[in-house]
Amino acid sequence: MSELRAALIGDSAHTPPLQVIEALPPELAHAHIAGAPHTIYQELWHIAFWLQITLSWIDGVPTTYPANPNDAFASESQSRAEPWDHLRGRFKRGIEQAASLTTEPATLARLIQCPSRPGAPTRIMSVQDQLVSLAAHNAYHFGRIVLMRQLLGSWPPPSGGFTW
């Protein structure tokens, strides 16, 4: 497994993403933690949001950058509309699709358009660079999810995870 693939779905520098969200009941996923700006659900929704945008950019589908940072996190009504297990499944399908792109050098080298924040020029980058960016983004947010699980007394998951 390449390091990029491992960073997206494997046991790289952190617990694998699907392991981070395993065996977490919906009530804990939706729990509000004092001082945390988002719930675990909202963090995963945000990860899935950017994952879908990345896949759209890679597929050549014009997808605009959100005008407001809050647009990239689930609202309370969006959180109620999609069950936790459905969100986890949506993330799993998307991250497996992204990881599958890491096996073809020609795909990784292909240049794509990646819109920037409003007012900034569109960036041109390789699929590989966009997947590296996605892996770094996901690691940041999964780290937040791990911390919230620790605060909720729900860490490590049954199949294990870093505990330091």
* pLDDT 10s digits, 61-104: 988 889 888 999 999 899 999 999 999 999 999 999 999 999 99
Domains and CATH numbers, the chain: 3-151 (1.20.120.450)
pTM for the predicted model, two decimal places: 0.95
The 8 Å CB, 24+ separation contacts for 134-138 are 134/8, 134/50, 134/51, 134/54, 134/98, 135/4, 135/7, 135/8, 136/7, 137/47, 137/50, 138/8, 138/17, 138/47, 138/51, 138/95
Amino acid letter for position 131:
L
pLDDT digits (tens, 9 = 90+) for 132-149: 999 999 999 999 999 999
Question: How far apart (Å, rounded) are the C-alpha atoms in residues 151 and 18?
Answer: 19
Residue bearing tokens 């998307």: 94
